[in-house]
Structure 1
């Protein structure tokens, strides 16, 4: 997958130089840790305590307003660019990714949550990227951290989401019809054909919806159908702490530490259609192993 100089710079900055910028967002690649250190880290994620004072709430509101204004500006800029690129669908995908890298990075910088990234060596491969979903912050992280040449898959109704939905369609990302199982499977097949034809990567939330309490939900079959059709490897992205930073039904964004962990690619070249449930269980169990106790399935 070829990247322009601009997108290469953004990806490099994302994983290297911009992490060292002097700001409240601290992102670092961590060395391998012992089992005891891993357990301590998971316990800390489970027992995070936050401030509920008026000062903390006021700072949170200021940051939310800044994020909204930032997204309005970047959305307007890239929507203008993509309108000019209507005849060139792949260029719109690439520009949509660059928009995500810039906007996602800025949003997370404004919010100021400390972020730790592990397994970044798996972050720039052509693959099906999957992620657990427990907070709107997951969207910002995914926008920022997926490689150029990646398309998302969302329900067709996303077009009605203000700003984001219209840009999603302009960026030539994929939409599926979830009105019934037959339509959903056919939509997945069409998405897989588009990915193979254009040499793209994919990003999808296998739970199909956002968890209300941060605990991992059951995985739907869509990502396995995509793997069977495209034969792309699957790269799991395990997100922890986002449900504590932005809780369901709240507009108070807390300074909880966040962790993004890329797991090694899982080959799908020898997968067969008669073992779909086995593959779903295998990857679901893999997530449960890498999540802290507070985010494991009930």
Structure 2
């Protein structure tokens, strides 16, 4: 089944007029000041605060948005589930269709939620690479589905198969699962993932924290993404997500209209990495995130190194 036309259309249209695509270097809002009891940006422009979205009416609208998101997602999941069954003999086409499903569904869900989005560094968004992202909200999943390039596979916990419809589609799309309760099995799964990536010229997407942050602050990184980089020699493209933890907090059903920023950083080269420095590479990439996140999302001081570290990138 030929899908390149649709995939290209979706990729070219994803930075539509609704979203403010930018390549500016700064993801953090300008300094804020208290003016007449309201937080405002320097220069007098209003900046979103939780107080701007209180009362029963915003909560009701939020619930309606969530219900519409759920119904819409179930509809597209069912449609692409049928497509996946038809494509069972063609694993790579199922990966492509899974990505197209993500582009369509992720963009649709973000449109329904209505959060203003700024995208920066989009020129790094179509590399053959290992994409990594911080994770603090369900919205992160929607953004990653939408914005990762065609030809990308994800790695998730094996229990995802029990998620109604979505979990089954994830498996049908030939994405990868690991058993986090069994370290030996997890290592084998990582090796299989690396082999599949190299063999089929794919990209990977992974949340290196391994779980979702409860308060938006960056958690320590697991080592898996470094092992994948060592085995595939793919560059690492960090995706910095800011504001999602404020828009949809863990355990809440209230989606707030907080502004979001998606920032791609230049690819970090891994072709000269060596297995004896895994911990150093984990720290290096973690420090890159810590330095590029706004203060409210940086790790607590003990986890944030003072000297940071530099990394050699593909882009000069």
Q: What is the CA deviation profile of residues 216-275 of structure 1, one whole-angstrom value per residue up to 9, with x for unaligned ones?
A: 000000000000000000000000000000011100000000000000001100000000
TM-score (norm 1): 0.92
Structure 2 unaligned residues grouped into runs of 5+? 34-40, 301-316
Q: What is the CA deviation profile of residues 104-137 of structure 1, one whole-angstrom value per residue up to 9, with x for unaligned ones?
A: 0000000000000000000011000000000000
- Which residue does 1:125 correspond to in 2? 127
| C-alpha distance in structure 2 between counterparts of 1:149 and 1:73, whole Å | 23
Task: Tell me if the contact between 1:46 and 1:294 (Cα under 8 Å) persists in the aligned partners.
Answer: no
TM-score (norm 2): 0.87
Task: Tell me if the contact between 2:226 and 2:278 (Cα under 8 Å) persists in the aligned partners.
Answer: yes
- Which residue does 2:150 correspond to in 1? 148
Structure 1 unaligned residues grouped into runs of 5+? 21-25
Q: State the shift of 1:42 in Å.
A: 9.0
| C-alpha distance in structure 2 between counterparts of 1:123 and 1:42, whole Å | 31
By relative contact order (CA 8 Å, sep 6+), the higher-ranking structure is: 1
Between the two proteins, the alignment pairs up a number of residues equal to 287
CA RMSD of aligned residues (A): 2.0
Question: Counterpart of 1:67 in 2: which secondary structure?
Answer: helix
Cα 1:176–1:232, aligned 2, differ >3 Å: closer, same or farther?
same
Question: Counterpart of 1:9 in 2: which secondary structure?
Answer: helix
Cα 1:231–1:66, aligned 2, differ >3 Å: closer, same or farther?
same
- Which residue does 1:5 correspond to in 2? 5
| C-alpha distance in structure 1 between counterparts of 2:185 and 2:233, whole Å | 21
- Which residue does 1:23 correspond to in 2? none
| C-alpha distance in structure 1 between counterparts of 2:32 and 2:199, whole Å | 41
Of Structure 1 and Structure 2, which has the larger fraction of its residues in helix?
A: 1
| C-alpha distance in structure 2 between counterparts of 1:178 and 1:265, whole Å | 28
Cα 1:3–1:148, aligned 2, differ >3 Å: closer, same or farther?
farther
Cα 1:230–1:164, aligned 2, differ >3 Å: closer, same or farther?
same
Cα 1:97–1:42, aligned 2, differ >3 Å: closer, same or farther?
farther
